Amino acid sequence: DLPDFASHSRVVCPYKKGLYERCFELISTLELLSEEGIIVAEHNAKDEFPDEMAGFAKLKDRTYGSIGITIYG
């Protein structure tokens, strides 16, 4: 089970744990992101992220060596 995110102002998903979909769903359901807010997902550069996840649109993705960064909003 995931921790209770409602009491946190910053949500960090465990890196390399495959929990991104669930984290995004919770962020959406609990309305934790402001309208202007973004989600920055750090992941393995080989991992591909969808154009949309839990209602958040992919804004940008970058690769830095073995690290991938995908930004949603």
Residue spans of alpha helices (H) in the chain: 20-29
pLDDT of residue 12: 59
CB-CB contact of 44 with 16 (8 Å): yes
Q: Where is 68: in which H helix or E strand? A: strand 67-72
pLDDT band at 22 (very low <50, low <70, confident <90, very high): confident
pLDDT of residue 15: 60
C-alpha dist (Å) from residue 51 to 15, 27, 42, 46, 54: 20, 17, 15, 16, 10
pLDDT of residue 60: 96
Whole-model pTM over 0.85: no
